[in-house]
């Protein structure tokens, strides 16, 4: 009886040990496989999150570009005096600069030709015009003046042209006050005991004698300009 009980106890013990070993093996094997699967899913999630973030940034960039394009398309063209449009329609084509003779003393260059020359060939235009004193003629499109300085600026622009001509004009010292009036439509000067005098208005056609400084930041500048009056 005792022997049979001992054998039975041994069997039960071995069975339980085997069961524990099996459970132990499963306990180790299953979590490892699950952990590897979770690690793969976490890596995939991180990759997808990065791709989603990049896609959102690209969408935001494209939306920004589209907004800017819509703004640019909706922005009206800068106003020009009607006289400029009419004058441009009558202008003959600008001759190539290399076909022109040297600039003559007293020669008058139209704003139309001057800007076209600079738009097509800056080095050649600078070689012909820069540091030269000559006359230019055109229709005034804008006027302005900084505070606390005497000179004022007369600006010439053309349709479909990004460049512009800016003439700096210094009024006579007898004028005690010079300012831009009428919603930046004209330049007015005042002197003691006299009624205000309009120097220049937008839409006026005028000829200036001045020294060409050359092209910079889209502006062909002239200094020491004086209105030319035929004697």
Over the chain, what is the mean pLDDT? 83
Cα dist from 30 to 16, 43, 86, whole Å: 21, 20, 88
Model confidence band, residue 231 (pLDDT cutoffs 50, 70, 90): low
Which element (helix H / strand E) includes 134? strand 133-139
Q: Which fold has domain 82-227?
A: OB fold (Dihydrolipoamide Acetyltransferase, E2P) (2.40.50)
Q: What band does 56 get if pLDDT is binned at 50, 70 and 90? A: confident
Return the percentage of the chain with pLDDT > 70, whole number: 79
DSSP secondary-structure letter at 222? Answer: E
User: Tell me, what's the pLDDT at 72?
Assistant: 43
Check residues 74 and 94 and name the one with the higher pLDDT: 94
Query: Is the per-residue pLDDT at 2 higher than 70?
Result: no
Q: What was the pLDDT predicted at 33?
A: 76
Cα 218 from Cα 201, distance rounded (Å):
23
pLDDT of 119 over the 90 cut:
yes
DSSP 8-state code for residue 104: P
- Can you give the pLDDT at residue 106? 84
**Helices H, strands E: what count in the chain?**
4, 10
């Amino acid at each position: 009886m005792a022997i049979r009980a001992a054998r039975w106890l041994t069997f039960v013990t071995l069975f339980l040990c085997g069961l524990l070993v099996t459970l132990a093996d499963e306990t180790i094997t299953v979590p490892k496989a699950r952990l590897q699967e979770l690690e793969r899913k976490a890596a995939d999630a991180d990759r997808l999150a990065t791709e989603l973030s990049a896609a959102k940034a690209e969408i935001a960039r494209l939306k920004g570009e589209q907004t800017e394009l819509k703004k640019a398309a909706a922005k009206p063209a800068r106003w020009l005096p009607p006289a400029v449009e009419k004058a441009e329609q009558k202008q003959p084509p600008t001759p190539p600069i290399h076909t022109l003779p040297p600039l003559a003393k007293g020669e008058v260059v139209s704003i139309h030709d001057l800007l076209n020359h600079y738009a097509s060939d800056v080095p050649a235009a600078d070689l012909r015009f820069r540091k030269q004193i000559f006359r230019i003629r055109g229709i005034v499109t804008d006027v302005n003046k900084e505070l606390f300085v005497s000179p004022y600026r007369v600006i010439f622009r053309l349709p479909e042209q990004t460049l512009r001509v800016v003439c700096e004009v210094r009024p006579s010292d007898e004028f005690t006050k010079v300012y831009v009036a009428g919603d930046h439509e004209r330049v007015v000067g005042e002197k003691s005991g006299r009624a205000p005098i309009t120097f220049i208005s937008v839409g006026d056609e005028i000829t200036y004698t001045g020294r060409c400084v050359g092209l910079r930041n889209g502006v062909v500048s002239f200094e020491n300009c004086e209105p030319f009056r035929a004697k």
